[in-house]
Amino acid sequence: MDESRRIVSVEEVPTDGTLLFTVRSGVDTAEAILTRLGDGSVVAFENYCQHWTDVRLDKGSGALVRNGEIVCQKHGATFEQDTGYCDFGPCEGATLDTIAVAVEDGDVYLADDEYEFERLGPSGEYDLSSGSRIDFSGT
């Protein structure tokens, strides 16, 4: 694999959370999250909730993953960790947008030709949603 598309070592991807990274498509950047499944495979999704797309699932310290589901802490929607399918909440039936990744020799690589790997961490664009919306994070 092309070293410029290497994101991180598989061991650095949590099974009980997510790892935030930034990709670029032309001049536009987008945030994505990696999560490691119980079988050791890794999946990536765009870092926004399907209910309100201005709400980030991972705000920089890892999204909450509970019982094999990624939880949107803004309004409690849950997404299957392996498929991104929303099985509870206001966007039930929707699916998180995937970003193709591949694991090779213990490392995770960006495999989606639409994007270039930019960096680990946030894009610099932050949650634009109103603070008046209900929040299940306790903050």
Residue 118 and residue 77: Cα distance in Å, rounded?
A: 28
**44 CB contacts (<8 Å, ≥6 apart)?**
32, 33, 34, 35, 98, 99, 100, 101
Which pLDDT score, from 0 to 100, does residue 9 have?
97
Query: Which two structure tokens, joined as six digits, stand for 5?
Result: 């598309």
What digits encode the pLDDT tens for the residues 99-129?
999 999 999 999 999 999 999 999 876 544 4
**Which homologous superfamily is 3-120 in?**
Rieske [2Fe-2S] iron-sulphur domain (2.102.10.10)
Give the pLDDT confidence of 40-94 residue by residue, as tens digits. Answer: 999 999 999 988 878 999 999 999 999 999 999 988 999 999 999 999 999 999 9
